[in-house]
A = this chain, B = another copy of it.
Amino acid sequence: MRALLLAAAASLSFAHAQGIPEDVKETADMLMRAGLEDRVGYETVEDLTTEVGARLGGSEAEARARDWAVEHLKELGFTDVRVEEFTMPYWERRYEYAAIESPFPQELEIIALGNSVGTPKGGLSGEVVRFETLDDLIEAPMDDALKGKIVFVDEGMTRTQDGSGYGVAVRKRSGAANEGSKRGAIAALIRSVGTDKHRFPHTGGMRYAEDVEPIPTAALSFPDAEQLTRALERGSVKVGLDLAVKTKRQVTSGNVIADIKGQTDEIVVIGGHLDSWDLGTGAVDDGAGIGITTGAAKLILDHIEETGEQPLRTIRLIYWGAEEVGLLGAQAYAEQHADEMDKHAFAAESDFGARKIWKLDTRFGEDKLGLAREMVRVLLPLGVAPGNNMATGGPDVTPLRARGVPVVTPRQNGWDYFDLHHTADDTFDKIDPDELAQNVAVYAAMTWMAANTPGGFRAEPAATASE
């Protein structure tokens, strides 16, 4: 009987130690309500997209974005703001041009995929061979049938709330060129990885496999992919392609970091990526993430100023650099902070637009799932449902996740995200201020709880050992 009581007491005390303290939840609730009224997040996106505009990783515009960011954060009252530079290889488009040469001469709307090589000077032309899916190309025999031809992978993308259509469709972005090249093709075209039906080709990064000859590769807009398909239904089609790019071996980029100091040396990371593709002004990708996490951090900063209440952990707001071109800022951060990886208690990147958050995925220790439930319970009034424990945390926290840092993904409604993603149409006017404010509310409350929950979110070594 005594043993049982002791065990019960231990269990109670354990549960208490693991829980989110009531006063922390109360502050979270207050931050949440303030978040719904927030305009700092929205105005941050407005300022960034207006005063900088497009900001390709490694470009002079991205450098201007870092200057803007440091000034903006200081203006908002952040005192511990710095840029952590890194170097990177650089790629930019100069121009691209495509046209059906025969039998129906007309221009096609294309965009070079990031990292594509250019065509030989003066362009190239070849007969187009269409594949309904990337798998159809992968299954094509390794004979001479594609030699000297242009492969066209016409695979579509499924519209989903959670963005799960992207992973399937994006394979062709590198796959078309790599699989085409292996079979002797001279160029590769793809139907854009996107869900809209407008005449916007979607760009995006691609990588050549090590064993293939790089061939130029570009995406067609939806209407142009349809047009090329209709032309092919009528017989053989010859397309001309002229594409020029510029590369540099080494340029400077950087991550912009603002810390709100905590009582301990543990760190909670939130942020978005500062760079964008070169076509739109990077509003939903990822001005929104910058705005959402800045709005949230600013609410916490104001709370601390008002109350003098210092968080348990340091809250670190990161604007990652050069995300689109290969998570280069994220890698640099992981390298530059390698010796404090075990001090990182929690991380989340907002990089999926500005629509409402509808559930919270986590990647916590299995023994810490009670904390996820508690967090969701607090966020429930915002319409946030419980998620799974397989969160990725967002692209730029990948290196942190790989090193065992607990991460969360507040899942946003991505129904129309891939309408705009990586297109010229990704502009500020597409953002709904109230939906963005809901994100600020979630991030503010969640970050406060993450920074003030004793024990943290990693599996307890003792607890794991005892199982």
Interface residues of A (CB under 8 A from B): 46, 49-54, 61, 103-107, 109, 197-200, 222-223, 226-227, 230-231, 234, 280-281, 423-425, 427-430
Contact = CB atoms under 8 A, between A and B. Distances in A.
A342 to B, nearest CB: 42
Given A281-B106, A429-B197, A429-B223, A230 B46 contact: yes
Contact of A50 (B54, B197, B231, B427): B231
Of the listed residues A106, A226, A280, A428, the one surrounded by the most CB atoms of chain B closer than 10 A to its CB is A106
B280 A227 contact: no
A223 B109 CA distance: 20
Nearest to A197: B429
16 contacts: A46-B230, A50-B104, A51-B103, A51-B104, A51-B234, A53-B104, A53-B105, A53-B227, A61-B106, A199-B200, A199-B280, A199-B423, A222-B429, A223-B427, A223-B429, A230-B428
Contact of A52 (B104, B197, B425, B427): B104
A452 to B, nearest CB: 38
B226 A429 contact: yes
Contacts of A105: 53, 61
A196 to B, nearest CB: 9
B428 A50 contact: no
A45 to B, nearest CB: 12
A424 B199 contact: yes
A231 B50 CA distance: 7
Nearest to A50: B230
Contacts of A49: 227
A61 B52 CA distance: 40
Given A106-B281, A198-B198, A428 B53 contact: no
Of the listed residues A54, A226, A425, the one surrounded by the most CB atoms of chain B closer than 10 A to its CB is A425
Contacts of A197: 429-430
A362 to B, nearest CB: 36
Contacts of A104: 50-53
A427 B199 contact: yes
Contact of A428 (B46, B227, B280, B281): B227
A92 to B, nearest CB: 13
Given A106-B281, A199-B280, A200-B199, A227 B427 contact: yes
Nearest to A64: B105
Given A199-B427, A222-B429, A424-B199, A227 B106 contact: no
The 10 closest A-B pairs by CB, nearest first: A53-B106, A223-B427, A50-B230, A199-B425, A199-B424, A51-B104, A226-B429, A223-B429, A198-B425, A197-B429
